[in-house]
A and B are shown apart, each in its own frame.
Chain A
Amino acid sequence: MDNIGNTDFFGINQDQINFFTMLMGLSAEQARYHFRFNEKFRFFMGPPDAPYAPVYAPWMAAIILGNSDIRIIIKAFFSINSGRSILKIDPKNASGEKIKQMIFDHMREYLNVVSGSVKKKFQENHINVGVSLPLVTRGTDDIYSHSKINSRESFQHWTLDDGEKQIVMKAEISVVSDIFSDFDYEIENVVQLDDGEDLDFL
Chain B
Amino acid sequence: MKIDALVINQLTQISQRILDMIERAKDQSESLIDNLPFLFAVITGDGVILRGGDRLSKMYQCQMDDLLGKNISDLFRKPSWKIMQEKIKSARNTDMVVFETSLDYFRPTSPIIQWTIVYDNKLNFYNNSDVYYICGVDVTTTRNYEQQITKIFAGIPLGIFRVNSDLVIEAPISHYTEVLFGRDDMIGKSFHDVVYGAPGVELTAEDSKKVNNINGIIGFDEFVFDCAKDSLINKLKMIINGNERFIGISYEPIVENSEVVSLLVIVDDQTNIEIKKSEYENQKKYEEKIARNIIDIKRIPESLCPFIFKEIEKAILDLEENGFRTLKKDMIFTELHTVKRVIKKSGMSGMMLEIHRYEDMFEKAHSTEEYGSILSDCVDFMRDETDELKKLFSVFRGGTSGSQKDVNPGSIRLDDKLRKILSATAKDLEKKVTLDCQLPLDIQSYRFISVLSECLIHLVSNAIIHGIETPEKRRQNGKQESGNIHIWTKISDTGEIEIYVSDDGQGLILENLRQAASRQNLVPRKKLKSMTEESLYDLIFFPGFSVSDHIQMFSGKGHGLSNVRKSLDEIGANIMVKTEEGKGCEFVICFKAE
Residues of A within 8 A of B (CB): 6, 50-55, 57-59, 64, 67, 79-81, 96, 128-133, 135-140, 143-144, 146-147, 149
State A79–B69 Cα separation when bound (angstroms): 12
**Minimal beta-carbon separation of B490 from chain A (angstroms):** 103
Residue of A6, A64, A138 ringed by the most chain B CB atoms within 10 A: A138
Q: Indicate if the CB atoms of B12 and A52 lie closer than 8 Å.
A: no
Q: Indicate if the CB atoms of A133 and B50 lie closer than 8 Å.
A: no
Q: Indicate if the CB atoms of B19 and A135 lie closer than 8 Å.
A: yes
Instruction: Specify which of A58, A67, A128 is in contact with B65 (CB 8 Å cutoff).
Output: A58
Contacts of B122 in A (CB 8 A): 147
Q: Indicate if the CB atoms of B19 and A129 lie closer than 8 Å.
A: no
Q: Which B1-40 residues have a C-beta within 8 angstroms of A? A: 4-5, 8-9, 11-12, 15-16, 19-20, 22-23, 26, 30
Q: Indicate if the CB atoms of B15 and A52 lie closer than 8 Å.
A: no
Closest to B6 in A: A128
Closest to B64 in A: A58
**Minimal beta-carbon separation of A30 from chain B (angstroms):** 21
**Given known contacts A139-B68, A140-B51, what 5 new A-B pairs fall within 8 Å (CB)?**
A6-B125, A54-B125, A130-B11, A143-B126, A146-B125
State A80–B63 Cα separation when bound (angstroms): 10
State A137–B28 Cα separation when bound (angstroms): 11
Indicate if B258 sits at the interface (CB-CB under 8 A): no
Q: A51-B48, A52-B48, A140-B42 are in contact. Are A146 and B126 (CB under 8 A)?
A: yes
**Minimal beta-carbon separation of B18 from chain A (angstroms):** 9
Indicate if B484 sits at the interface (CB-CB under 8 A): no
Q: A64-B15, A67-B8, A133-B16 are in contact. Are A140 and B50 (CB under 8 A)?
A: yes
Contacts of A131 in B (CB 8 A): 12
Contacts of A81 in B (CB 8 A): 65
State A149–B42 Cα separation when bound (angstroms): 21
Instruction: Specify which of A129, A140, A149 is in contact with B8 (CB 8 Å cutoff).
Output: A129
Q: A128-B5, A128-B8, A131-B12 are in contact. Are A147 and B69 (CB under 8 A)?
A: no
State A77–B23 Cα separation when bound (angstroms): 17
The digit string for B62-91, where 1 denotes a CB below 8 A from any CB of A, is 011101110000000000000000000000
Q: A51-B69, A140-B50, A147-B122 are in contact. Are A135 and B12 (CB under 8 A)?
A: no
Contacts of B23 in A (CB 8 A): 133, 135-137
Q: Which B78-125 residues have a C-beta within 8 angstroms of A? A: 122-125
State A67–B50 Cα separation when bound (angstroms): 33
Q: Indicate if the CB atoms of A52 and B26 lie closer than 8 Å.
A: no
Contacts of B26 in A (CB 8 A): 135, 137
Q: A140-B42, A143-B131 are in contact. Are A132 and B123 (CB under 8 A)?
A: no
Q: Indicate if the CB atoms of B51 and A138 lie closer than 8 Å.
A: yes
Show 22 A/B contacts (Cβ-Cβ < 8 Å), sorted by A. Answer: A50-B69, A51-B69, A52-B44, A52-B69, A55-B50, A59-B65, A67-B8, A67-B11, A80-B65, A130-B8, A130-B11, A132-B12, A133-B16, A137-B26, A140-B42, A140-B50, A143-B50, A143-B125, A143-B126, A143-B131, A146-B126, A147-B122
How many residues does chain B have at the interface if contact means C-beta atoms less than 8 Å apart?
Answer: 33
Contacts of A50 in B (CB 8 A): 69
Indicate if B129 sits at the interface (CB-CB under 8 A): yes
Name the 5 nearest CB pairs between A and B, nearest first: A130-B12, A140-B51, A52-B69, A58-B65, A146-B125
Contacts of A53 in B (CB 8 A): 126, 129
Contacts of B5 in A (CB 8 A): 128
Contacts of A79 in B (CB 8 A): 65, 68
Contacts of B135 in A (CB 8 A): none
Q: Indicate if the CB atoms of A144 and B123 lie closer than 8 Å.
A: yes
Residues of B within 8 A of A (CB): 4-5, 8-9, 11-12, 15-16, 19-20, 22-23, 26, 30, 42, 44, 48-51, 63-65, 67-69, 122-126, 129, 131
Instruction: Specify which of B19, B50, B68, B123 is in contact with A64 (CB 8 Å cutoff).
Output: B19
Q: A146-B126, A147-B125 are in contact. Are A132 and B68 (CB under 8 A)?
A: no
Instruction: Specify which of B15, B42, B67, B129 is in contact with A130 (CB 8 Å cutoff).
Output: B15
**Minimal beta-carbon separation of A26 from chain B (angstroms):** 20
Q: Indicate if the CB atoms of A52 and B131 lie closer than 8 Å.
A: no
**Minimal beta-carbon separation of B43 from chain A (angstroms):** 10
Q: Indicate if the CB atoms of B12 and A149 lie closer than 8 Å.
A: no
**Minimal beta-carbon separation of A172 from chain B (angstroms):** 12
Closest to B11 in A: A130
Closest to B49 in A: A52
Q: Indicate if the CB atoms of A143 and B123 lie closer than 8 Å.
A: yes
State A139–B68 Cα separation when bound (angstroms): 9
Closest to A52 in B: B69
Contacts of B48 in A (CB 8 A): 51-52
**Minimal beta-carbon separation of A47 from chain B (angstroms):** 12
**Minimal beta-carbon separation of A35 from chain B (angstroms):** 18
Contacts of A6 in B (CB 8 A): 125
Q: A52-B49, A132-B15, A133-B19 are in contact. Are A57 and B125 (CB under 8 A)?
A: no
Closest to B26 in A: A137
Residue of A59, A64, A67, A130 ringed by the most chain B CB atoms within 10 A: A130
Q: Indicate if the CB atoms of A57 and B15 lie closer than 8 Å.
A: no
Contacts of A133 in B (CB 8 A): 16, 19-20, 23
Q: Indicate if the CB atoms of A55 and B51 lie closer than 8 Å.
A: yes
State A67–B122 Cα separation when bound (angstroms): 28
Residue of A131, A132, A136 ringed by the most chain B CB atoms within 10 A: A132
Contacts of B131 in A (CB 8 A): 143
**Minimal beta-carbon separation of A175 from chain B (angstroms):** 17
Instruction: Specify which of A54, A59, A64, A67 is in contact with B129 (CB 8 Å cutoff).
Output: A54
Closest to A139 in B: B68
**Minimal beta-carbon separation of A4 from chain B (angstroms):** 13
Residue of B5, B22, B68 ringed by the most chain A CB atoms within 10 A: B68
**Minimal beta-carbon separation of B15 from chain A (angstroms):** 5
State A63–B12 Cα separation when bound (angstroms): 12
